Amino acid sequence: MKYPNFPNTRRAFIKNTGIGIGISAIGTSAYPYTNLFQKEVQPNKKLGVALVGLGYYATHKIAPGLVASEYCTLKGIVTGTPSKEKEWIAKYSLPKKNIYNYDNFDKIAENDEIDIVYIVLPNAMHADFVIRAAKAGKHVICEKPFDISVKKAAAAVDACKKEGRLLQIGYRCQYDPYHQELMRVGQSKELGSIKVIRSGHSFFGVRGSNWRYTDKALAGGGPLMDVGVYCIQGARYATGEEPLAVSATAYNTYPNLMDGMEETILFSMEFPSGAVANIASSYAARANFIDVSAEKGSYGLGPAYGYDGAQGYIQGDKMSFQAKNQQAAQMDAFALNIQNNTPVKASGEDGLQDMRIIEALYKSASQNGTRVKL
């Protein structure tokens, strides 16, 4: 892999990526994080975003992220709950004509104020709405996981391609300086080849009543779909490689909960270079870290995958980067992609690849941990 114009000191990297704006990531590697710094044109007006689904993440993270955003602004909402409309109209000064429900959503095609549709619905509703948004002529951001199957995710990627619309998956960590350092150190082989990655992302939610814990048709699976996917991403972008094979074992310890879905999953991923990742994700425990062991040393993040407060270490030193609003950074990068017609870092293909890995992991878990090739 080659990194033209890549700054070779950590200080230079902080200087260049700490701002995150005005720099494009165009890569040709299997998992490009950045290999060509290029000046980008900034949008001359903020792009209008419509949020689809006004639950926890849209309300408490994306909407505030839009307030902090340099190139995007909240212009519309799509909700199935009329009682939410008044509050959002008042809070974000939204015109009534920019309020949609799930039935009349397709009329958004006629609304010039909306450039981007951001899907924040339960997992199994993602691909259908991505397709509807692309057909309405809008660029699309889709929350993770992409959907609940390879088939549906692939259909959404195809629809965006066909309509000539850009698609981003809400992998906010890819726009965070700590994760970018994880990518840089691993992919540049600063500490030699990566041999072992350990990662965990778990929280105690198993007794919850949200669709995540109760409704397999909407969630598609347990913690693997929801938070384990961050560890899959971490292992992929630390190595810059795609796994050749995976294996998984699932566990349920709380009787009558997580109906048909795993409560805990332990899994491994084997990469072409020989690196292996050992990962745990659970709704009945608490963990949030990634540790990378390479031939010449180790580094990692912990906490790793939260909205803020990430901390990192490398060879016993503490990493230090300026904190960013991840949602604003993610949406601003997408706005620059739209303005400059540049490749999206957290692309639809990226999300589709995670769906392939997730399907292979569930296949392995259903076969008592048999190794499944990708």
Q: Which residues contact ligand NAD by CB under 6 A?
A: 53-58, 80-81, 120-123, 143-144, 170, 172, 210-211, 218, 226
CB closer to ligand NAD out of 14 and 58: 58
Q: Is the N-terminal amide bond of 303 cis, ω within 30° of 0?
A: yes
Edge-to-edge strand order for the sheet containing 264-270? 317-318, 312-314, 297-301, 284-294, 194-204, 276-282, 264-270, 245-251, 372-373
CB of 173 to ligand NAD, least distance (A): 8
CB closer to ligand NAD out of 126 and 165: 126
CB of 238 to ligand NAD, least distance (A): 19
Cβ within 8 Å of residue 278, ≥6 positions away: 196, 197, 198, 199, 266, 267, 268
Catalytic entry in 144, 152, 324, 345: 144
CB of 161 to ligand NAD, least distance (A): 22
Catalytic entry in 33, 230, 237, 305: 230
For residue 12, the surrounding DSSP H or E stretch is helix 10-17
Edge-to-edge strand order for the sheet containing 72-78? 99-100, 72-78, 47-52, 116-119, 139-142, 167-169
CB of 132 to ligand NAD, least distance (A): 14
**Which residue number is nearest to ligand NAD in terms of Cβ?**
55
CB of 139 to ligand NAD, least distance (A): 18
230 counts as catalytic: yes
Residues 300 and 310: their CA atoms lie apart, in Å, by 10
Q: Look up tokens 């660029």; give the residue.
A: 139
Q: Which of 83, 71, 125, 78 is nearest to 99 (CA)?
A: 78
CB closer to ligand NAD out of 268 and 353: 353
Between vectors from CA 326 to CA 321 and to CA 328, what angle results, nearest 5°? 120
Phi-psi region at 297: left, alpha or beta (left = phi > 0; alpha = psi -120 to 50)? left
Q: Look up tokens 């909205």; give the residue.
A: 307
CB of 272 to ligand NAD, least distance (A): 28
Compute the half-sphere exposure of residue 362: CA atoms within 13 Å on the CB side of its CA.
Answer: 20
Reading the block at residue 78, the tokens are 């799509």
CB of 126 to ligand NAD, least distance (A): 6
CB closer to ligand NAD out of 57 and 313: 57
Residue 317 CB neighbours (<10 A):
10
The DSSP result for 130-189, as a single string, is HHHHHHTT-EEEEPSS--SSHHHHHHHHHHHHHHT--EEE--GGGGSHHHHHHHHHHHTT
CB closer to ligand NAD out of 170 and 240: 170
CB closer to ligand NAD out of 121 and 134: 121
46 counts as catalytic: no
CB closer to ligand NAD out of 319 and 331: 331
The DSSP result for 102-114, as a single string, is TTTGGGGGG-TT-
Catalytic residues: 144, 230
